[in-house]
Structure 1
Amino acid sequence: MKERKISFLFYFCLVFSLVISTTFTNSRVAAESDILGVEAEAAILVDAKSGMILYEKNSEISLPTASMTKMMTEYLVLEALAEGKITQEQETGISDFVYQISHNRNLSNVPLRADGKYTVKELYEAMAIYSANGATIALAELVAGSETNFVKMMNEKAEELGLETYKFVNSTGLNNGDLLGQHPQGTKPDDENLMSAKSTAQLAFHLINDYPEVLETASIPKKVFREGTDDRIEMSNWNWMLPSLVYGYEGVDGLKTGTTDLAGFCFTGTAQRDGNRLIAVVMKSIGYEERFDDTAKLFNYGFSNYETQELFPSGYQIENQPSLPVSKGKEKTVEIESKEALSLFIKRGEKEEYLPKFKFDKETLTAPVEKGQKVGTLSVSYKGEELNFLPSEGNGGTSTDLITTTNVEKSNWFVLMMQAIGGFFADIWTSAADGIKALF
C-alpha cells in the first residue's frame, strides 16, 4: 500500500510538472508573439529585399482580405501592360454590370457612365488610389474578357507565385453578396476572398519587386478623377499612413487597405528608410485607426532594431577550405572565393551570430577550369535559429556564388597516362598491403 501511495504521488507530481511546464511555455510563446502589442488578429513584418520574416503573429491562418485583394488585380494588370497586351492610354467601355456596381455609393467607387470610354490609366488610378470597385471589375473584364476568367487567372497566378494560403473569388475583395447576383461563375453567392497574412505579404513582395512602378500610383495621396469634366471626383487615398495624410509615417509609399464586415480592417503597408524597405500586413484589426497603429508598431520595430550589414566581403574565402581539388589538371587544386559581398538586414549587434554556410556543386573539379567559374554557393546561417523566409522567396539576396580565382589547364596526354599508371600500381599496392594486414 505504501509503495502504491509513493507511485501515485510520483505520477501526480510528474503530470503536475508537465502541466505547469506547458502552461509556462505557452505563456512564453504568447508573450513573444505579442511583444510589440499588435492587436490585429494576424500580422507579419518582412524585409522587402530578401523576404526574411522579422515578426509574425498568426501569420498562417486564412482570413478575408477585403480590398487587399486588389493587389493581385494590380499585379495582373501591370503584367498585361508589361507584356504589351494592353496600354496605359487604351480606352475601354464598361459593361452594364460595371455600371451598376460603380453607382453603388455604399461601396468605394467612382461612378462610371454607361456610354463612357475610360483609359486603362484612369481606371487603374481609381482602383489603386480610391479602391474603386467598378473600375477594378472593368479592368478585369478588359484583361480577361470576363471577371470569371480573371478569377481563374488570379488563382493560377497565386499558385505560380508560390502562395500557400489563398482563395480568390472576385477581383475586388468585396463579398460576393455585394455583386448583385452576378458573382463570377464557379463561386458561391456569399464567398469572400481569403489569404493568410504570410501569403498576403508574399503577394506584396512580388508586386513591389516585379513591378516597382506600382508604388508610383500607390503613393499618390490625392488625385482628381476625370479632371475638367462633369464627372470630376476628388479621390483621397485610403492609406492614411502616406506622409502627407492624417496618420503620416516617414517613408510609407504603399500599398493597400481593405475593409469588409467579415475582414474587419486590414492593411498591407510598405515603407522605405535609409535604403531598407519593409512590408507589413495586419489583418482583422478592430478599427480603421487601429490597423495603422499596429502597422506603425511593426515599422518602428523593424527600422529601430534592424539594419543592413555586410556579413562577408567580396572575395571571402572559407576558413579551412580555401580551395577545391582538381583532377586531370596541371595544378592539383584551385583557390575559390565569393563572387560578391553578402549583406543582410539583421538585428543590430548580432553580426557575429551569422555564420558562413557553403555548398559545392562538385567535391572535385575536372580540368580545364576557367577563372571565375561557379563551383558552389555561399549563404548564411544563424547561430540561434534557422532564418525564416517567405515561402519560395528563400534567401533572396542572402547568397552569392563561389568562384575559382585562376585558370587550371588540363595536363597533356603523357602526364595523364603516367598519372593513370601510377594510380593503377598504387591501387595494386594498397590492395596487397590490405591483404597482408588481414593475415595478421
Structure 2
Amino acid sequence: MRASRSVATASRTSLRAPFQAALCALALSAALLVGGTHAHADVRKADLVGGSTVEALGLSVGQCPDVAADYALLVDSEGRVLFERAGSAPAQIASITKVMTAIVALEQGDPSRPVEVSPNAAAVGESSAGLRAGDRMSFDAALTALLVPSGNDAATAIAEAVGAQILEREPQLAADPQTAFVAKMNQKARELGCEDTLYENPHGLDDDAFRGNLHSTARDQAKVAAHAMSLDAVRRIVGAGDTSITVERDGGSVSIELRTTDALMSYDDRVIGIKTGETLLAGPSFMGAAVHEGVELYAIVLHSSSAQQRFDDTRALFDWGYEHYRAYALVNAERTASGTYRSGAQAPLVARLTLPDRAHGEVDLTVSDPTASLRVFNLEGNISQRAVLKDGLTSVRAGDVVGTLEFRQRNKVVAALDLIACDDVPEPGIWERLGTWFSGLLSGGADKERPTVEIWNRTPIIKSNVGRSA
C-alpha cells in the first residue's frame, strides 16, 4: 500500500487578493500619516465594562482594551461579561460557524463510524483541508480537518455523514442530511441560550450560493465557545496547533498535513484555541480562549480591520482582562476565636453567634479554611458578606457547621465558607426555659427570639486604579 503526502491550503476567491491588497495599501498609508506612533485603536463611550459604559465609569483611553473590531466580547468561564462592544448586535461570523458544527457532530454523531467525502463536499471551495471526493477518514480525523485548517470540505462531509445518522433516528426532521444537521445546529444554539443566532450551513460561507440570513452575536458566540471548550475533543484539537491526519484514498493511505489558522497560539502561551473566521461580509474574526493562573477567558472579535488585527484585538482583550483579575483573601480577621475547636491551633474569629433564652448563649465562629481566596475582577466592585444560619439552631457543639458566610460581588454570590462553632452551647436548662415562658407572658406572646450573628471578618476594598477616583 503506497502512502503519499500533501499539504492542506486555504484557497481564496479571485476577488479576495485585490481586496486584501487594497486594505494593506490603506493600512500602510495610515501608518505613514501618523509617523509610526501607536494610538489606541478605538475606545467608544458605549463600550461596556462590567455592565457599565466606559463613559459612566469615567475610564480613560489607556484604561480600556485596545480593540479595532466592530463587535467584541470578553467573558470568563462562569459567563461573567467583562468587556462588551455591540455584543448583542447581529453580525456575520464566517468560519466561527464550524465550532457549532463540531459541537453537533460530537453530540449527535457516532464516533465509531467513518466519514466519507462526497463530490459535493469536495467542491465547496474556499478554505480547504485538501480532501478529495471518495476520501474516507475516522470521525476524529474529520473533526481535526474541520477545526485546524478550517476545512469547508470537512464541514460539509461531517454534516452529510452525521446528518444521515440523525435522519435514521428522526426521518421526519428534514428532506436531506445536511438540512437535518443544520436544524440540529440551530436547536443546540437555542439550548445554549443563544438569542439571535441563525445557522444556514455547516461552514459559514455567506456569499454567492450561500448568501442568506445566517448571523449571530458576540454574546451568543461566547456561550458557544464556553460549551465547546467543555468538550474534551474540541479542546484537544483546537489546542494542538499544526498536525496531520490519515485518509484512505484510491486504495491507499494518504497523510495530509494540516496548518492551523490560529496564529495567535504561536506567540501567546496563554491561548488554547479556538477558531478563526473571515469572509468579505464578516471581515476578519476570531473566537479565542486563554488560561492564565487558573482563570479561563473567552474572547469574541468580529469584523476587525485585518487578519492580524483580529489577533491583536484578542490579545489586547486577554491582556486587559488578566490585568484586572486580583487574588482576594476571603478571611481577614484581626482576632482569634476562643473555644475547644482546634485546640492548640489558632482559628480566626470571623463571627459570633448568640443563641437566645440562656445566660451564656454566645459562641465564637470560625471557618475550616482560613487561607481561602478567589480571583475577582476588580472593575466589578467591592466584595460584601453576609452570614446565613441554619434553621432550628437551639444548641451547638464545637465543630458543628452552623451556617455559611457568603461573599458577594455585584449582588452575585462568588464564594461561601462554612461557619463552624468553636465551643459547645447546650440546650437551655429548666429554669432558663421557665424564664423564657414568663417573659413571653409579660410581653403578650411576642414572637420567640431568633439566633443572631455578628460578623467580625473584614472585606477589604478592592483597588481598581481606574476612573475618576484613581
TM-score bucket (shorter structure) = 0.5 to 0.7
Q: What is the match of residue 279 of structure 2?
A: 260
Judge conservation of contact 1:329–1:410 (CA < 8 Å) in 2: no
Judge conservation of contact 2:121–2:154 (CA < 8 Å) in 1: no
| Paired residues for 1:215-364 under 5 Å | 215-226=235-246, 231-243=254-266, 248-303=267-322, 305-313=323-331, 322-326=351-355, 332=361, 335-338=364-367, 340=369, 341-347=372-378, 354-358=382-386, 360=388, 362=390
1:426 partner letter: S
Distance in structure 2 (CA, Å) of the matches to 1:370 and 1:213: 48
Judge conservation of contact 1:68–1:256 (CA < 8 Å) in 2: yes
| Paired residues for 1:23-422 under 5 Å | 28=55, 32=59, 35-48=64-77, 50-79=78-107, 86-87=110-111, 90-94=112-116, 96=118, 99-114=119-134, 116-140=135-159, 141-142=161-162, 144-145=166-167, 146-175=177-206, 178=209, 190-194=212-216, 196-208=217-229, 210-212=230-232, 214-226=234-246, 231-243=254-266, 248-303=267-322, 305-313=323-331, 322-326=351-355, 332=361, 335-338=364-367, 340=369, 341-347=372-378, 354-358=382-386, 360=388, 362=390, 365=393, 371=399, 373=401, 375-381=403-409, 386=410, 398-405=414-421, 411=427, 415=429, 421-422=434-435
1:113 partner letter: A
Pick which of 365-374 and 248-257 moved more: 365-374
Shift in CA distance, 155/106, structure 1 to aligned 2, threshold 3 Å = closer
Summarize deviations over 1:26-67 as a string: whole Å, max 9, x none. 99469859643311001122334x444332222222222222
How far residue 267 of structure 1 moved from its aligned partner, in angstroms, is 0.3
How far residue 129 of structure 1 moved from its aligned partner, in angstroms, is 0.4
Distance in structure 2 (CA, Å) of the matches to 1:54 and 1:258: 23
Q: What is the match of residue 11 of structure 1?
A: none
Q: What is the match of residue 17 of structure 1?
A: none
Distance in structure 2 (CA, Å) of the matches to 1:316 and 1:212: 45
Distance in structure 1 (CA, Å) of the matches to 2:301 and 2:65: 13
Distance in structure 2 (CA, Å) of the matches to 1:164 and 1:401: 35
Distance in structure 2 (CA, Å) of the matches to 1:263 and 1:306: 30
Equivalenced residues, count? 367
Summarize deviations over 1:380-418 as a string: whole Å, max 9, x none. 33xxxx38xxxxxx76xx312433346868749xx4x76
How far residue 328 of structure 1 moved from its aligned partner, in angstroms, is 9.7
Judge conservation of contact 1:45–1:279 (CA < 8 Å) in 2: yes
Shift in CA distance, 203/357, structure 1 to aligned 2, threshold 3 Å = farther
Distance in structure 1 (CA, Å) of the matches to 2:102 and 2:68: 28
Distance in structure 2 (CA, Å) of the matches to 1:45 and 1:120: 32
Considering only aligned residues, what root-mean-square deviation do their CA atoms show, in Å? 4.3
Judge conservation of contact 1:330–1:408 (CA < 8 Å) in 2: no
Shift in CA distance, 134/338, structure 1 to aligned 2, threshold 3 Å = farther
TM-score normalised to the size of structure 2? 0.64
TM-score normalised to the size of structure 1? 0.68
Distance in structure 1 (CA, Å) of the matches to 2:218 and 2:332: 36
How far residue 123 of structure 1 moved from its aligned partner, in angstroms, is 0.5
2:143 partner letter: Y
Judge conservation of contact 2:387–2:404 (CA < 8 Å) in 1: yes
Judge conservation of contact 2:304–2:310 (CA < 8 Å) in 1: yes
How far residue 167 of structure 1 moved from its aligned partner, in angstroms, is 2.9
Shift in CA distance, 238/26, structure 1 to aligned 2, threshold 3 Å = closer
Summarize deviations over 1:298-327 as a string: whole Å, max 9, x none. 223234x23441331499999997144557
1:202 partner letter: K
Distance in structure 1 (CA, Å) of the matches to 2:396 and 2:129: 66
Judge conservation of contact 2:349–2:365 (CA < 8 Å) in 1: no
Q: Which one has a larger percent helix, Structure 1 or Structure 2?
A: 1
1:281 partner letter: I
How far residue 354 of structure 1 moved from its aligned partner, in angstroms, is 3.1
How far residue 290 of structure 1 moved from its aligned partner, in angstroms, is 1.8
